[in-house]
């Protein structure tokens, strides 16, 4: 069964994104379902992500100098700031995909929304952890209920709730539509997080990278290396997570078709026995 879109070519797009001939040396699971979610493209993407991560470690930990006021703690920024950007990107994709799903009813966009949200939550957790580690030497504590940190916590909780809605025991279309609405509404809090340091006074510093950036030289370059590395990791994870969701859908559809076939066979056998008696 393919992921189709009755109103557009999204079905073809989904088939292109789904793993085709993913099993090594032509191996498969015995049916039309690939043995894994890998492909030549994802392997190349994975290698690029590893190389970029190695470059990040080199520039972030070795070549980039300490910062005047933060000393060695500035190195956490090369992980923290890219994780912020990637988390925002994941939630933005969830919002856009949810809007498209509500308009077209395409399973492709429903799976994209869910996959992006899961990865966004992962990077959000990494963002909070790295920020807490930075806060200990800078603020003297791991955590304060600053407007930025509080709104970020609310954001993570909202998207965990979004993922929970996607797992409710409801008809698939009802569940997906409810999740899509929540995925759109939740992004409003992402905007709150983004501008919280401007709207409210707190201990969290303002924009580190922007029109009036506080970084330059190797520090700024290390940040961009980290941003590229995290974007590549995000893309690699998103493709694989989507393919896992697609394969799970295919397996569920095959299981349902098999159960219906077995039920029809039992009904036919019962009918034949009844006529013989």
The residues spanned by each domain of the chain are 51-205+215-236
pLDDT of residue 137: 78
- pLDDT per position as a tens digit, 114-131: 999 999 999 999 999 988
Could you tell me where the DSSP H helices lie in 20-65?
Answer: 40-58
- Residue 78 CA to residue 222 CA, distance in Å, equals 6
**Distance in angstroms (rounded) separating the CA atoms of residues 80 and 123:** 9
Q: What is the pLDDT of residues 192-237, one digit of tens each?
A: 988 877 776 655 655 554 434 456 678 888 889 999 999 999 999 9
Q: Which residue has the tokens 């036919």?
A: 268
Residue with tokens 């201990």: 203
Within 8 A by CB and 6+ apart from 143, the residues are 132, 135, 149
What is the pLDDT, as a whole number, of residue 188?
A: 93
Instruction: Kindly write down the DSSP assignment for every residue of 167-197, as one continuous string.
Output: TSSS-HHHHHHHHHHHHHHHHHHHHHHHHHH
Angle at 215 between CA 142 and CA 131, to 5 degrees: 15
pLDDT of 35 reads 60
Classified as helix, coil or strand, 66 is coil
Query: Helix, strand, coil: what percent of the chain each, to 5?
Result: 75, 0, 25
Instruction: Count how many Cα atoms sit within 13 Å of the Cα of residue 107 in the half-sphere of its side chain.
Output: 20
CATH fold, domain 51-205+215-236, is: 1.20.120
* Owner of token pair 């992402």: 190
Across the chain, mean pLDDT equals 79
| Low-confidence stretches of the chain (pLDDT beneath 50) | 1-32, 209-213
Contact of 144 with 135, CB cutoff 8 Å? yes
pLDDT at 246: 87
Q: Hey, what are 103's tokens?
A: 């308009």
pLDDT value of residue 93: 97
User: Residue 164's closest CA among 227, 117, 101, 231?
Assistant: 117
Q: What is the pLDDT of residue 124?
A: 94
Rounded Cα–Cα distance for residues 69 and 8 (Å): 55
CA atoms 178, 184, 187, 188: torsion sign: negative
Cα distance between residue 135 and residue 189, in whole Å: 23
């Amino acid at each position: 069964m393919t992921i189709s879109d009755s109103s557009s070519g999204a079905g073809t797009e989904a088939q292109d994104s789904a793993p085709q001939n993913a099993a090594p040396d032509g191996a498969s699971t015995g049916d039309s379902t690939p043995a894994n979610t890998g492909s030549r493209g994802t392997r190349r993407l994975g290698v690029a992500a590893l190389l970029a991560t190695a470059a990040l470690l080199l520039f972030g930990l070795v070549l980039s100098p300490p910062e005047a006021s933060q000393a060695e703690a500035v190195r956490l920024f090369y992980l923290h700031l890219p994780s912020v950007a990637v988390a925002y990107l994941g939630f933005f994709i969830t919002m856009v995909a949810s809007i498209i799903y509500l308009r077209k009813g395409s399973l492709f966009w429903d799976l994209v929304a869910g996959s992006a949200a899961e990865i966004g939550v992962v990077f959000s957790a990494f963002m909070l952890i790295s920020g807490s580690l930075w806060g200990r030497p800078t603020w003297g504590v791991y955590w304060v209920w600053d407007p930025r940190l509080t709104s970020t916590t609310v954001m993570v909780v909202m998207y965990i709730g979004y993922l929970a809605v996607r797992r409710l025991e409801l008809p698939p279309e009802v569940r997906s539509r409810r999740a899509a609405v929540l995925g759109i509404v939740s992004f409003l809090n992402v905007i709150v997080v983004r501008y919280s340091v401007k709207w409210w006074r707190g201990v969290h510093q303002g924009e580190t990278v922007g029109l009036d950036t506080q970084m330059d030289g190797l520090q700024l370059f290390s940040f961009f290396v980290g941003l590229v590395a995290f974007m590549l990791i995000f893309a690699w994870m998103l493709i694989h997570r989507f393919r896992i969701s697609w394969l799970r859908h295919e397996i569920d559809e095959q299981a349902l078709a098999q159960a219906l076939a077995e039920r029809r066979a039992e009904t036919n056998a019962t009918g034949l026995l009844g006529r013989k008696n």
